[in-house]
Chains A and B, each alone.
Chain A
Amino acid sequence: AQTVTQSQPEMSVQEAETVTLSCTYDTSESDYYLFWYKQPPSRQMILVIRQEAYKQQNATENRFSVNFQKAAKSFSLKISDSQLGDAAMYFCAYRSAIGTASKLTFGTGTRLQVTL
């Protein structure tokens, strides 16, 4: 079974600064997908960024980028120019690309605070 570990329960960053959230995972599969989801107090899960394991190039979405290290099974999220609206819970998630097993396996989350 796959597992996802987020070792930082809470992180804090000053507005306009850069912060990196860590995520490691364990799998014996070679083909899979990785995601970062954001959950604000409204409870709505919002996809931040997605990475296909077969792609070597790290995904980027505006101020959000990932550092995907397949051999190390590491998938960190970098948020640049942090904004107050970035404050939320962030969850790392894994999805197998094999067969029909398309459920998401989530880490326990990192609560990000953004200060002035």
Chain B
Amino acid sequence: GAGVSQSPSNKVTEKGKDVELRCDPISGHTALYWYRQSLGQGLEFLIYFQGNSAPDKSGLPSDRFSAERTGGSVSTLTIQRTQQEDSAVYLCASSPQTGANEQFFGPGTRLTVL
């Protein structure tokens, strides 16, 4: 079946503008994760959704970042008043359940803040 999809693939915005990044997980996957990959760095956890439980927001770097997951499927990561340091690749992943199951990653959205 289809893998995790993300849109847009690339986004260029001006400092101070808001952006929305979208993630469509694999159908039936109950867990959804957002990670950020800055240039030359590993992936940094941002937020995690599992079913109907309250999301784990412990990785969000500031209150300018928020995410929601509607209907237990599609997720949107919103960054308000973007800053240049927000420039990175934002990766979404989903998995069937918690535990040892593999996280399946999307191709990411490259965000550039001018």
Chain A residues engaging chain B, CB cutoff 8 angstroms:
4, 6, 33, 35, 37, 42-47, 50, 52, 91, 93, 95, 97, 100-109
B residues contacting the other copy or chain, number (CB 8 A) = 28
Contacts A45-B91, A103-B33 given; indicate if A97 touches B99 (C-beta within 8 A).
yes
Please tell me which stretch of B21-29, B41-49, B61-69, B70-78 contacts chain A, meaning at least 4 of its Cβ atoms lie within 8 angstroms of it. Answer: B41-49
Cα distance A6–B31 in the bound complex, in angstroms: 27
Given the complex of chains A and B, what is the CA–CA distance between A109 and B39 in angstroms? 12
Report yes or no: A50 in contact with B102, Cβ–Cβ below 8 A.
yes
* Least Cβ–Cβ distance between A56 and chain B, in angstroms: 16
With a cutoff of 8 Å between Cβ atoms, the chain A residues found around residue B53 in the complex are 100
Check B111 for interface membership: any CB of A closer than 8 A.
no
Query: Which chain A residues lie closer than 8 Å to B105 at the CB level?
Result: 37, 44-46
Q: Min CB distance, B89 to chain A, in Å? A: 6
Q: Across the interface, do A42 and B50 meet the contact criterion of CB distance under 8 Å?
A: no
